[in-house]
Amino acid sequence: MAAILLGAALAGCGLNVQAPDLFVLTRTGQGATLTELFNDAGTVRCNGGPVEQLPDALLLLARDLAATLDNDAKAKLRIAPTPNSVFFYTVKLQNGTISFPDTAGLEHPELAQTEQLALQAAQQACGRSGKRAQVR
């Protein structure tokens, strides 16, 4: 009987497990600021709005980027904006923060993928224009 009660108590404790956040991406520059919080459960929150479901392909990309950008975060990658950059990105991960202009993707493919994820998540999951996302 005690084993059954213990099992029931333990089962009740694990029902509210939340998936971890992958990273927070902030894009500044032309137009309004865009902030996206990506979660491992397959969701994104844009500009503090409601939680939205990510398409599967974007969730896989976000998970891949979280792992790929981890080394850049540990190294505290910072690339200064250039005169011809339009947007500037900051990505906060568990092991640090990286920041880079939109022109950095030419030499860093993972940063180009990060820019693409920001745009596609804003358009597909949050229903916003990637170019001029509205601030809430």
Conformation bin of residue 61: beta by default, left when phi > 0, alpha when psi is -120 to 50: alpha
Give 42-79 pLDDT, tens digit per residue.
999 999 999 999 999 999 999 999 999 999 999 999 99
Contact 69, 93 (CB under 8 A): yes
Q: Which residues pair with 23 in a beta bridge?
A: 38
Contact 120, 130 (CB under 8 A): yes
- Record the pTM: 0.81
Give 73-96 pLDDT, tens digit per residue.
999 999 999 999 999 999 999 999
